Amino acid sequence: MTSTQLAQVLVAVSLLVASAHIVGRVFARCRQPAVIGEIVGGLILGPSLLGLISPGAVHALFPSTGPTAVVLSALSQLGLVLLMFCSGIEMRAAFHRADRRLVTAIAVAGMILPFSIGLLLVRVAGVEHLSGPAHDNAAVVVVFSLAIAVTSIPVISRIMFDLGILHTSFARVVLSVAVAEDVVVYVILALTLGAAATSGVPLTNALGIEPGSLAQAMAHVGATLVVLVGLLVLMPLILRRLAQTRRNADSVVPALTRDLVLLLLVCAACIAVGVTPMLGAFATGIAAARTSGTDAAEARGALRDFSFAFFIPLYFATVGLQLDLVHHFDPIFFVWFAVAASLAKTVSVVLGGLAGGAGRRASMNLAVAMNARGGPGIVLATVAFQAHVVNEEFYAALVMLAIVTSLAAGSWLGRLVRTGRLDEPRTELTTHVSTGPVRQSEQVVGAGKLLREDA
């Protein structure tokens, strides 16, 4: 890399990070999710806005090939890995026994019904016009259905934190359901992307398995399940053993280095066996959250703070940079897709809320909150796009769906809080959580630490 190329890389990275933070802060001041502002920050520098004014400037600042493109792609992928790791850490939110019936009803209805509706819509509309270079229609169908069913933990957590309702039973139920849904979504997405792979990976190549064959798909499913279960069972034991053998228990640096090195090694191992590193990072975060000790907590906090200061905003800015709303956006498709997705999610959560014992108004409020697709919706879009499963038009629609639903959820809940019409779901802890801080509310706040950095 020449000095000129290095300067170009540094300028590109600086512009993206600065734009993400500036616009993200503007959105936060307007009581909107900062993550949406970070995407808009990248969109401003991309073909959707700057490209209209000066296409040459976009190409000069962010070329599609060469060292700048490679470095931006690598940093963006690292941002995604760290985002999934931090999201996994936040899975430590406790499901309280008092919410079990309501959470189960909403989680089941909120996943199965929207996913099924997505399958029906695909049969009617077809998927050929949404498929990417991989030409895997089955994978497109799964992505389409997951996009309708997914809910964002970080975005809705940030919204509820800003509104001062994170301590309520309403927030506890929303976060609990979102945790269950996101785990299912990420596992299904990992299985789908692996099965859709048309090129071999080191493991299948070594075994002589033909790329794109049924044997490769079966090997991927097995590898995914082994990796997921292995990380959740063995990683906490490994982390605890490493923590016990450290000589200087008061230093945060060794714990931070340990977590980061293990995360990178796990992701590399996942790539070697054909499992998306996104799932490995997510499972590692869940495992890391189960380790105790002040140094471990401080190390995770330091890693999270740095990730949300640089890598994760860069990832979201890159998402916006890749959006081309001028040449690769179909507004007609987006409108009916967004309406269908929102209605499907709303109806399913309302039905689940009523079945779980919540009132009609509380069920509707829960449905609006869980329509926010935010971070997970964007991850779904970018991972599927980078795997060549979906084309640019569908990628743009998926990202815009995450943006629009997150903004709508924030506006709706803000109006309810200002007018005092945010009804609590009827659970055994509602009275206690509403009238004062209790241990269960502290668990919800603990689950929402990620909101302060806002994925």
- Please write the tens of the pLDDT for every residue from 306-316: 888 999 899 98
Task: Say if residue 344's pLDDT is above 60.
Answer: yes
> Phi and psi (nearest 5°) for 131?
-75, 145
Task: Say if residue 248's pLDDT is above 60.
Answer: no
278 in Cβ contact with 81 (< 8 Å)? yes
Mean pLDDT (whole number) for 384-400: 89
- Report domain extents, the chain: 82-453
Rounded Cα distance between 365 and 156, Å, is: 12
Class of the CATH domain delimited by 82-453: mainly alpha
Mean pLDDT (whole number) for 127-150: 87
Mean pLDDT (whole number) for 327-354: 92
358 in Cβ contact with 425 (< 8 Å)? yes
Rounded Cα distance between 376 and 32, Å, is: 17
Q: What percent of the chain has pLDDT over 90?
A: 22
Two tokens, residue 233: 């069972």
Vertex 230 angle, CA 99 and 74, to 5°: 95
Task: Say if residue 111's pLDDT is above 80.
Answer: yes
Helices within 273-311 (DSSP H only)? 277-288, 294-306
Rounded Cα distance between 163 and 338, Å, is: 25
Two tokens, residue 55: 């296409």
pLDDT band at 42; cut points 50, 70, 90? very high
Contacts of 85 (CB under 8 A, 6+ apart): 263, 281, 282, 284, 285, 288, 303, 307
Write down the pLDDT at residue 422: 72
Write down the pLDDT at residue 332: 92
CA distances from 68 to 73, 79, 391 (A): 8, 16, 23
Write down the pLDDT at residue 387: 83
369 in Cβ contact with 413 (< 8 Å)? yes
Two tokens, residue 29: 């001041």
pLDDT, averaged across the chain:
79
Of 398, 386, 391, 392, the closest CA to residue 76 belongs to 386
Residue 307 is given by DSSP the state I
Rounded Cα distance between 387 and 275, Å, is: 12
Write down the pLDDT at residue 211: 57
Q: Over the stretch 56-110, which tens digit does the pLDDT of each residue have?
A: 999 999 998 899 999 999 999 899 889 888 877 766 554 566 678 888 899 899 8
Instruction: Quickly list DSSP for 161-188.
Output: HHHT-TTSHHHHHHHHHHHHHHHHHHHH
Residue 210 is given by DSSP the state P
81 in Cβ contact with 281 (< 8 Å)? yes
Q: What is the pTM of this model?
A: 0.76
Write down the pLDDT at residue 427: 54
